[in-house]
Amino acid sequence: MVIAAPSSGSGKTTVATGLIAALRSRGLKVSPHKAGPDYIDPGYHALAAGRPGRNLDPWLVGEEKVAPLFRHGAAGCDVAVVEGVMGLFDGRGDTGFASTAHVADLLAAPVVLVVDAARQSRSVAALVHGFATFEPGVRLGGVVLNRVGSDRHEELCRSALESAGVPVLGAVRRDDSVVNPSRHLGLVPAAERGPDAVRAVERLGELVARSCDLDALLRLAATAPPLPGPVWDPADHVVPVDGRPVVAVAGGPAFTFSYAEHVELLRAAGADVAVFDPLRDEALPDGTAALVIGGGFPEAHAAELAANAPMRDAVAAFAGPVAAECAGLLYLCEELDGRRMCGLVPGAARMTSRLTLGYREAVAVASSLLTRPGERFHGHEFHRTAVTRGAFPCGGTPPHTPRNCPVEPLFRWRDGADGFGDDRITASYLHLHWAGHPEAAQRLVSSSRSPSALR
């Protein structure tokens, strides 16, 4: 089943995460998914389910891969819960492409609409009626009322919704104790909160279990028909290299953004994957032949990253291939908010007040570790930082010496440009889902075995 809402902020994550936890508490194997590119919600889903949260995004991977990726993630499970993105019909630009409704259609899945009932009663029925009839292909199977104030408030909403013909599957009362902390890009990631996140997910599970009709929700999910076609398999998209090179992937509280399929593709391409924490570890994993430094919140941990000079020096001196996205780009810069970083790319990063957010159709204008000129990549941006290119001259004091000073950006799109790269580095704000671009994993692992990449 797909957990959707009329808009962001309605309570999708509360209901979806709590539902996953509640169903798991019943002894069910629950497969958690998130429509769209978001990294943070799947972290809470993973805690609730005890298995990786996975994204389903037609823009990032292509429509044809959504069902195969879903079947890959849901293999062996009893039920799957897919949290939507934004409002039910909100997609790329002014279209419905990559919307929650689009994903629900690709999965032939029923939709549960989470409605924020605060400050309304009978109007809930008009809202739900509109969402139930706006697109005939969407099968709205029920409503969960959120932020209900009292028994009387719930009674009024339920009575009104009888006229809309959509069953009420739950009514969640206002409860400030289950509100998760947020900051400049949304919820604080579960990986940064440690035991607090575990307790928060447990409370959400208890809240949904006592507020929703779990049996009715399971019956609704059972109406989703079998999905035909293949199951996505990373081994079908890459060719394993010899020697099992070690690919070190950044993790820990500062680097929490990653899609589960990235590691699966790296392993299928012949790599041994080792996770390291740039905040705490002082050396790269033994035998590291390539680095992957993905997204996250280095700006929230800049002082600690700067203070870990042994790790910064190890990354700066590393001679193998490096793939970096967003947070990884900031970490490779000369500095972040005035604090020294690794210096592998010539630029200074800083926090800004401007949110950069959206899908990008990027064209590679130069060759790099992961790109070839003219190739097109579907990705997304999500940050409040900016990088000043060439803020530091090439040549400085090792190990903080940018290897090159590219004049041209690595990627261009309709109204922007971004990125640094050469034959061993790709560093950009652009987030990619490697299931949509498996050549990225192949090129990274293959380059880790190429002597020319280790010069």
Residues designated as active site:
326
Whether the predicted pLDDT of 71 surpasses 90:
yes
Q: Rounded CA gap, 256 and 193, in Å?
A: 12
pLDDT value at residue 399: 39
Is the pLDDT at 254 greater than 90? The verdict is yes
- For residue 245, what are the CA distances in angstroms to 1, 65, 271, 291? 40, 28, 5, 11
The residues facing 296 across adjacent strands are none
Q: Domain total for the chain?
A: 2
Q: Is the per-residue pLDDT at 400 higher than 60?
A: no
Q: Confirm whether 31 is domain-assigned.
A: yes
Q: Which of 196, 221, 246 is the endpoint of a domain?
A: 221
The answer to whether residue 227 sits within a structural domain is: no
Single out the residue in 197, 221, 245 at which a domain terminates. Answer: 221
Paired tokens of 257:
């953004």
pTM of the entire predicted model: 0.93
Q: Quick one: 136 and 253 in the same domain?
A: no
pLDDT attached to residue 452: 44
Domain shared by 250 and 216, yes or no: no
* Whole-number pLDDT of residue 93: 87
Quick check: 398 pLDDT over 50? no
Phi-psi domain of 431 (left: phi exceeds 0; alpha: psi -120 through 50; beta: other): beta
Q: What is the CATH number of the domain that holds 59?
A: 3.40.50.300
Both 214 and 244 in a single domain?
no
Q: Quick one: 114 and 183 in the same domain?
A: yes
Say if residue 162 is in the same domain as residue 189: yes
| Res 132 pLDDT > 50 | yes
Least confident segment among 175-189, 200-214, 326-340, 347-361: 175-189
Four-point Cα dihedral 7, 98, 82, 11, nearest 10: -10
Asked if residue 229 is part of any domain, the answer here is: no
247 and 201, same structural domain?
Answer: no
**pLDDT tier, 185 (very low <50, low <70, confident <90, very high otherwise):** low
Residue 133 within a domain: yes
How many CB atoms are closer than 10 A to CB 224? 18
Mark which of 194, 221, 248 sits at the end of a domain: 221
Whole-number pLDDT of residue 174: 87
Q: Averaged over 257-283, what is the pLDDT?
A: 97
Mean pLDDT taken over the chain: 92
Q: What is the mean pLDDT of residues 427-444?
A: 97
pLDDT of residue 355: 87
* 228: in domain: no
Residue 211 has pLDDT above 70, yes or no: yes
Same domain assignment for residues 191 and 291: no
- Shared-domain flag, residues 186 and 311: no
Residues 293 and 439 in one domain: yes
Q: How confident is the model at residue 175 (pLDDT cuts 50, 70, 90)?
A: confident
pLDDT at 331 over 90: yes
Q: Which domain holds residue 177?
A: 2-221
CATH of the domain at 307: 3.40.50.880
Query: Is the confidence at residue 6, as pLDDT, over 80?
Result: yes
Q: Are 129 and 267 part of one and the same domain?
A: no
Residue 114 belongs to some domain of the structure: yes
Same domain, 195 and 265: no
User: Does any domain span residue 83?
Assistant: yes
Pair 24, 30: CB distance under 8 Å: yes
Query: Based on the domain organization, do 342 and 278 belong to the same domain?
Result: yes
